[in-house]
Amino acid sequence: MEGQALLAPPAAAPQGPSAPPASMFDSMPGYEGTLAGGGGGFLPPPMPAFPVPQPEPGPAQPSWNIPSISEDTARGAFVLFASSKCCYNSGPAKDGVITRMDAFNTYRYRLETFTESRSTEWSHEPYRDQPVDAFAQPPPGPWDVPAKAPTFFVDDQQIMKVPYTSSTKPCHVCVGMGRRPCKECAGAGNKVCWVCNGSGFRHGDDRCLHCSGRGRENCNRCQGKGSMQCETCHGQQQLLVYINLTVKWTNNSENYVVEQSSGLQAEHLSKVSGKELFRDTQYLVYPLVGFPDPTVVNAAQRLVHDHQGKYSRTSRILQQRQTIELIPVTKVTYSWKGKSHIYFVYGNEFTVNADDYPATCCCTVM
């Protein structure tokens, strides 16, 4: 009947599986525990074919002491510190009288264990005539796939397809059709006219000009087709399914800083560098010996033992490095306007901390 709205019943859009079914993946020897999207966890490295090199004592250890900073250096660092603060009067830094300087040099021990870990997962991509090599021969084991040479002590990652695991499968999302019902119109190709709200008329008997009285309009999202290209296979209908190998190189680093009684908060020391006194790099380092501070020796032995036990279970240790830095910390006591104050100069950068700076003002930025 003329003027009557032609209402097409909306079709329910079938929901495809969000994850590929397990049956989509072939059983590959050596990769039986590999999952899709969640990997199979990190794969422990195989036992070495040859005895691993045993750690040896590090290089000869130098004199562990360095002289304290001079009064001129301490004052110059204080002046620079004050001038960098817009609210600080430079008077205390320039005119304060230094009455005492106490050195609280402290040591920072750092152990770095550079590891390689490997994990696998089933992946897929639209099939566009890529090579298909599954079952041409057995795939190499996860730790037998060649990877690029890493840069020691630098985090990195490489992802690659495992050879001889690639095959084609119908797309599990669109069931091999290459298209899916449009979500905007539920597959109908049209939807209720937004001007007349589906009635086909505007005012009284005036036919709606927007939809020509049909009460529905073509769906702009799918151009009236009712379906759209499958976003998973990009319309190719098939997927290339393969095992992805992720190789991660990680520099696992831990520090131990000797407690010092200067009053400077320990977190400040993590932001500065020190004078490197000792460096030892080996496949596996030997625990520190002969250091004058027994707390550093104990910390080094504990960390070396922990690292070699912890990281060898899930990854392959490629190199270890242990260093000792001496971080200079000087507590400076000075007098200004008859009152005593303190500040700290620390690190190779001569960083200053002065929480009780006596001449500050409140600045307002307009």
Instruction: Encode pLDDT of 325-350 as tens digits.
Output: 999 899 999 999 999 999 999 999 99
Q: What is the pLDDT of residue 12?
A: 44
Cβ neighbourhood burial of 223 (10 Å; 0-12, 13-18, 19+): exposed
- pLDDT tens digit sequence for 84-93: 998 899 999 9
User: 351: which strand partners?
Assistant: 346
**Residue 83 to residue 288: CA distance in whole angstroms:** 43
Strands 238-257 and 275-282: unpaired
- pLDDT tens digit sequence for 182-217: 999 999 999 999 889 988 898 778 899 889 888 999
- pLDDT tens digit sequence for 253-303: 999 998 878 889 888 998 899 988 889 999 999 888 888 889 999 999 999
Query: Three-state SS string across the chain, please?
Result: CCCCCCCCCCCCCCCCCCCCCHHHCCCCCCCCCCCECCCCCEECCCCCCCCCCCCCCCCCCCCCCCCCCCHHHHHHHHHHHHHCCCCECCHHHHHCEEEEEEECCEEEEEEEEEEEEEEEEEEEEECCCCCCCCCCCCCCCCCCCCCCCCCCCCCEEEEEECCCCCEEEECCCCCCCCEEECCCCCCCCEEECCCCCCCCECCCCCECCCCCCCCEEECCCCCCCCEEECCCCCCCCEEEEEEEEEEEEEEEEEEEECCCCCCCCHHHHHHCCCEEEEEEEECCCCCCCCCCCHHHHHHHHHHHHHHHHHHHHHCEEEEEEEEEEEECEEEEEEEECCEEEEEEEECCCCEEECCCCCCECCCCCC
For residues 46-51, average pLDDT: 68
Reply yes or no on whether the pLDDT at 58 is more than 90. Answer: no
Specify the residue for token string 């005012």. Answer: 203
Q: Where are the domains of the chain?
A: 71-112+250-353, 179-229
**Residue 346 to residue 270: CA distance in whole angstroms:** 11
Strands 190-192 and 216-218: antiparallel
Residue 311, both tokens: 């990281």
**Residue 322 to residue 312: CA distance in whole angstroms:** 17
For residues 155-174, average pLDDT: 96
> pTM value?
0.76
**Residue 152 to residue 122: CA distance in whole angstroms:** 29
**Residue 252 to residue 177: CA distance in whole angstroms:** 48
Q: How many CA atoms lie within 13 A of 345 on its CB side?
A: 26
Q: What is the pLDDT of residue 33?
A: 81
Q: Measured between alpha carbons, how far is residue 37 from residues 19, 21, 167, 284 in Å?
A: 8, 12, 17, 35
How many percent of the chain have pLDDT more than 70? 87
Instruction: From 244, 243, 246, 320, select the one nearest 280 (Cα to Cα).
Output: 320
Neighbours of 138 (CB within 10 A): 11
